[in-house]
């Protein structure tokens, strides 16, 4: 395992794509092992590809791209404007609410951040918001997508950790709205201090709000239908992914009449590219997963952590701190695939619900995408807005602190996370 880790980090910091760094490091474990044939490594790649729940990933990726071509995004922006543009820091508040609503459509924090940076970023800066503040609101706000269903990260965590994806989806709703509230409060405090004004002088009428909500109804109903379908036993997580694609096409063609054939082809091409990258990482990580189990890494790490403390909350916080540090350097998908098989057995042995831990883990590892030195969402937003990373990081500190406080609070209050899964379980 030591050699595997050294090779992986050496290749990653040398600039090799993550998928190949994982694949070469994983295969090296079999090449240099005297007790395991190298052919087992190839078999593990094939074995990983045979998982039925894994079908959910490409389906939800495709559904997200289809949704972005159906006219849903402008309707969600209008809905967000009607709900919160009257508050201090109006456009920034709109960004956060939009991230929450888009979480139920795109399932990807980076896609959400890039979309908002292109659409709302220039308008925010034209209204007097600084580049750093604009970038921080958009990038950190996209973290909410990691918990609001259908989160791709939660699907992967459920796949590698053998945890119910339906329960994970339900568990992510309350934490997602708590993060939204914490971000909105932070925006309000900063806006009041700097004089960022509301977009409208007074709250909109009830009729205006209801009209905006009605226009966005098909997007707002999407995550609700998915949850009902999974928890009601109508579909499995994989089957509901296929339903999501059909739903997206139906909304775009029949209801909104905005999904053209060219848009369909473009969405399909974008999805194939994303799916190729994600699936390559997942398949090659199968060798690493085998190595982790063969070398009994979960037992070794568990013994080390339990040697520090036997209190479940303390151990969970230590794991989250490690994940936060790792997330500063490694992409969240890789961390989930490599570390969930190690940490899920540990927390389960301590009596911590793996659904509760999954929400905490996904929030922490996704947070790394919003922070230096290798934050994917951070660089996407800063690149689009032409914002210096130093200015972005300085402006993002209040938002990062607010999110960290929410995560720590959720670690001590598992009942908040598990309320909906237990209610509908």
Cα(229)–Cα(235) distance, rounded to whole angstroms? Answer: 6
CA distances 286 to 43, 135, 171, 323, Å, are 9, 36, 27, 20
Cα(266)–Cα(260) distance, rounded to whole angstroms? Answer: 10
Query: Is the model's pLDDT at 95 over the cut of 80?
Result: yes
Query: Is the model's pLDDT at 250 over the cut of 70?
Result: yes
Q: What is the pLDDT of residues 224-247, one digit of tens each?
A: 888 788 777 787 767 877 888 888
Compare 361 and 248 and report the one with higher pLDDT: 361
Would you say 378 and 372 are in contact if contact means Cβ atoms under 8 Å apart?
yes
Query: Is the model's pLDDT at 51 over the cut of 80?
Result: no
Angle between helices 389-412 and 414-424 (to 10 degrees): 70
Cα(4)–Cα(18) distance, rounded to whole angstroms? Answer: 14
pLDDT at 327: 80
Q: What is the pLDDT of residues 321-363, one digit of tens each?
A: 888 888 877 778 778 888 888 889 889 988 999 999 999 999 9
Residue 371 — φ and ψ, nearest 5°? -130, 155
Cα(42)–Cα(8) distance, rounded to whole angstroms? Answer: 18
pLDDT at 52: 66
Predicted model pTM: 0.81
Q: Rounded mean pLDDT of 280-299?
A: 74
Q: What is the pLDDT of residues 98-119, one digit of tens each?
A: 888 877 666 667 777 877 887 7
pLDDT at 425: 65
Containing H/E element for 163?
A: none
Query: Is the model's pLDDT at 64 over the cut of 90?
Result: no
Compare 418 and 290 and report the one with higher pLDDT: 418
Query: Is the model's pLDDT at 407 over the cut of 80?
Result: yes
- The fraction of the chain above a pLDDT of 90, given in percent, is 19
The mean predicted confidence, pLDDT, of the chain is: 83
Question: Cα dihedral sign for 346, 351, 352, 354?
Answer: positive
pLDDT at 299: 65
The band of 302, judged by pLDDT with boundaries at 50, 70 and 90, is low
Q: Find tokens 């490690």 and name the residue.
A: 322
Would you say 336 and 155 are in contact if contact means Cβ atoms under 8 Å apart?
no
The band of 415, judged by pLDDT with boundaries at 50, 70 and 90, is very high
Closest CA to 226 of 213, 214, 243: 243
Cα(193)–Cα(392) distance, rounded to whole angstroms? Answer: 18
Q: Rounded mean pLDDT of 248-259?
A: 88
Cα(177)–Cα(147) distance, rounded to whole angstroms? Answer: 9
pLDDT at 419: 94
- The fraction of the chain above a pLDDT of 70, given in percent, is 95
The band of 395, judged by pLDDT with boundaries at 50, 70 and 90, is very high
Highest-scoring range by mean pLDDT, 22-36, 225-239, 299-313, 339-353: 339-353
pLDDT at 104: 62
Cα(299)–Cα(273) distance, rounded to whole angstroms? Answer: 37
pLDDT at 354: 95
Query: Is the model's pLDDT at 257 over the cut of 80?
Result: yes
pLDDT at 44: 81
Query: Is the model's pLDDT at 12 over the cut of 80?
Result: no
């Amino acid at each position: 395992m030591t050699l595997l880790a050294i090779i992986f980090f050496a290749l990653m910091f040398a600039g090799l794509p993550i998928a190949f760094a994982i694949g070469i490091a994983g295969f090296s474990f079999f090449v240099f092992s005297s007790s395991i044939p190298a052919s087992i490594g190839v078999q593990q790649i094939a074995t990983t590809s045979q998982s039925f729940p894994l079908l959910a990933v490409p389906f939800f990726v495709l559904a997200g791209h289809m949704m972005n071509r159906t006219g849903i995004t402008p309707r969600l922006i209008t809905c967000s404007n009607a709900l919160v543009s009257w508050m201090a820091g109006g456009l920034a508040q709109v960004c956060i609410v939009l991230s929450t609503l888009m979480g139920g459509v795109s399932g990807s924090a980076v896609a959400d951040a890039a979309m908002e940076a292109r659409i709302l970023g220039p308008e925010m800066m034209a209204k007097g918001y600084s580049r750093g503040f604009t970038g921080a609101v958009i990038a950190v706000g996209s973290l909410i997508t990691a918990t609001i269903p259908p989160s791709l990260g939660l699907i992967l965590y459920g796949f590698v950790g053998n945890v119910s994806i339906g329960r994970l989806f339900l568990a992510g709703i309350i934490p997602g709205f708590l993060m939204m509230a914490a971000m909105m409060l932070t925006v309000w405090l900063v806006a009041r201090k700097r004089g960022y004004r509301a977009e409208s002088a007074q709250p909109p009428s009830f009729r205006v709000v209801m009209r905006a909500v009605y226009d966005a109804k098909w997007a707002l109903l999407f995550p609700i239908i998915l949850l009902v379908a999974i928890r009601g036993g109508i579909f499995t997580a994989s089957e509901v992914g296929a339903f999501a694609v059909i739903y997206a096409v139906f909304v775009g063609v029949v209801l909104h009449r905005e999904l053209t054939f060219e848009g369909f082809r473009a969405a399909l091409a974008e999805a194939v590219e994303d799916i190729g990258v994600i699936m390559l990482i997942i398949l090659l990580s199968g060798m690493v997963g085998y190595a982790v189990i063969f070398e009994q890494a979960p037992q070794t790490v568990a013994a080390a952590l339990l040697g520090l403390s036997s209190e479940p909350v303390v151990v969970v916080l230590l794991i989250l701190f490690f994940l936060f540090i790792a997330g500063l350097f490694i992409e969240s998908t890789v961390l989930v695939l490599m570390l969930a098989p190690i940490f899920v057995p540990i927390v389960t042995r301590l009596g911590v619900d793996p659904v509760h831990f999954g929400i905490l883990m996904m929030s922490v590892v996704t947070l790394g995408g919003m922070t230096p030195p290798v934050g994917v969402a951070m660089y996407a937003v800063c690149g689009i807005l032409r914002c210096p990373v130093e200015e972005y990081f300085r402006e993002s500190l209040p938002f990062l602190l607010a999110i960290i406080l929410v995560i720590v609070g959720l670690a001590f209050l598992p009942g908040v996370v598990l309320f909906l899964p237990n209610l509908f379980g």
